[in-house]
A and B are shown apart, each in its own frame.
Chain A
Amino acid sequence: MARHLRSLARQLGGVARPSTYYLPWITRPGLDCTLVLSNVEARFKPDLNQGPFPVSVVQYDADGRAAQSYQVTLQDCTDTVEVPLAHAPGGCGFATVIGERLHSDLYVTLSDGHDYTATHGRHEFIEAYPLPARVLLGAGGAAAAVVGRTLPIFRRNQYVYLGRESRSHVLLMNLSNVTNRIRVAAHVGDRRIGSALLRLPPMGSRLLDVASLGPMPAAGVVSWRLELEGNAWFNLYLVGAGSRDLAGPLSLMHVK
């Protein structure tokens, strides 16, 4: 029901959803973040597999500014190009990838120089709201924020795990051109243990330390359910950290 209402509201409000492929990024001292681009999954699709494939990458910083852009070319559908991402303000964000006839999942990797972890990006969309809708959402979101809430237009649920030797962070990405207030509430079973309200600028991102939402377990690994609500389209990646937390090796993972 809520889904149909949102769809109707989008149509009435003139909200556009241009198809977009994006990947998360994180930079830290000693941690290299590199995209691995290819079109290998198009290898057996005659209308998509004829190279070369020019590819354009735009890296958005945590404040939503286009901090860097990269132009690369895949010579053929088995070619692979690695694109090391530069450090940008905030140390996290997402990068969009545009390429005609690009029909393959792309990877983002994190490496401490010894080994690397990897995950793939998402082919979804960015929401573009017209000015009246932006004003309305801005005012409504600001009013709700006074009492620590947001307009719960989009919701997600996500399980996260934490223990003495491992931590989880959530990279929240505002995939829209409006300010997105995202409320994150952590639950153990049906009991709420803490919450946070984050304000993400248009196209901006924030890294949330899950441990900031509640007490860490004394031993073992526990799972918490996060309930996330935002006033505009958003998504998240999970960031796994070891005992050195964000100063050590990290992993990224897409979610449902």
Chain B
Amino acid sequence: MSATFYEAGYEHHVEVIHQRDGEARRRLDSLEVMLYDEGGALLGAPRVDPAQDVLDLGALVRATTSATERVMVVFDARYAESIFPYRPHHYAYLHRAGSPAAPLYYAINAVLGGVPDRVGATNINNFETYVFRRGPFAQRYSLLLGCLAHFVPVQAQVFTYYGSRRVAQEITLEPKCHAEVALAAEHEGEPLARVEVKALFRLLSYVVGRRADTGDLVLFDHLFTYAK
């Protein structure tokens, strides 16, 4: 599966077509979309046309729910087995309406939660890291984490590094729940250098940077696994 987060006020578009080469602008066989609130409640599973190129995620969420908080959007998309046996690789675009900030393009996260051998990632991919610029910058950092497990909660450890100091946070996410975990930009005078996420199962994870004054997203990126 693939998953992302939608926040109100953003233009947010997701490519649902695979366009690896000219002759193979492959359409999906099927596409199911599910929306969850922070507490894991299903907000809706709107029907979407798998034959379209680009999905207007903002319009879809607004038509499905009146929720104004962050929504976790899960894509269960399939090609015909003969074309690609694994999940599609979706790219996306987001920009807050009225914001002078640059729009962001990003790659949507792959998450275990469906059929593992269809994900195409057999290595351990639940131990991830990301490095930051030293700054100082007027932006707030956080992790957006989501749990796609069906039955059991997932425990995760988030380690942030400041010079030689390490700060640990523990978080438990119930199935389909999601959370924003703030990362302090500074600790005992040292700037945030990097973050690590360890979890027993793969979580949906994005590293996020927001402008301190407006909250506009300026970073929305995947982390990197230690086990490629």
Contacts and interface: CB of A to CB of B under 8 A. Distances in A.
A86 B90 CA distance: 34
Contacts, number: 138
Nearest to A221: B11
B98 A115 contact: no
Identify whether the interface residues of B are mostly helix, strand, loop, or mixed.
Answer: strand
A162 to B, nearest CB: 9
A34 B133 CA distance: 9
B99 A114 contact: no
B47 interface: no
Contacts of B91: 159, 255-256
B136 to A, nearest CB: 10
A73 interface: no
A116 B15 contact: no
Contact of B224 (A82, A104, A243): A104
A115 B218 contact: yes
A145 interface: no
B103 A168 contact: yes
B100 A249 contact: yes
Nearest to A241: B102
B101 A249 contact: yes
A251 B102 contact: yes
Interface string A144-163: 00000000000101110101
Interface stretch (B18-26, B75-83, B110-118, B143-151): B18-26
Nearest to A243: B100
Contacts of A244: 100
14 contacts: A41-B224, A82-B133, A114-B138, A115-B138, A115-B218, A116-B137, A118-B219, A118-B221, A163-B95, A165-B97, A166-B103, A242-B99, A242-B100, A251-B103
Interface of A: 2, 34, 36, 38, 40-41, 43-44, 78, 80, 82, 104-105, 107, 109, 111, 114-120, 155, 157-159, 161, 163, 165-166, 168, 221, 223, 225, 227, 238, 240-244, 248-251, 253-256
